[in-house]
Homo-oligomer: A and B are copies of this chain.
């Protein structure tokens, strides 16, 4: 799905990841804003990648749940989603993230908040 949306990796540090998304006509909803689903996808994915950075090779993550708060309409032409690990437990990992719309001068305007719970699974065995 990330390829379909044209998502790019902007920054990759231990426990912290930023993903980029450019607005496109086919990502919009009826008001001309980027659809909440696309915003959620990059927010959830940034949180997911943030977890991988600290994981052993044979472990993977599945999203258990997330809460999105859509703070303001996604009217900008480009977005950055930041995700970071808040606490990494044996089974569950808690993450928070933000999505920013980029202004013409590159300033970041908050568009959405995410709070997510993910579960570590052994690779190739994805049954929760």
Contact = CB atoms under 8 A, between A and B. Distances in A.
A128 B71 CA distance: 8
A34 B4 CA distance: 13
Contacts of A30: 60
Given A37-B38, A45-B37, A119-B91, A128 B73 contact: yes
A69 B65 contact: yes
Q: Which secondary structure dominates chain A's binding surface?
A: mixed
B69 A64 contact: yes
A3 B29 CA distance: 10
Interface string A2-34: 111100000000000000000000111111011
A44 B70 CA distance: 12
A63 interface: yes
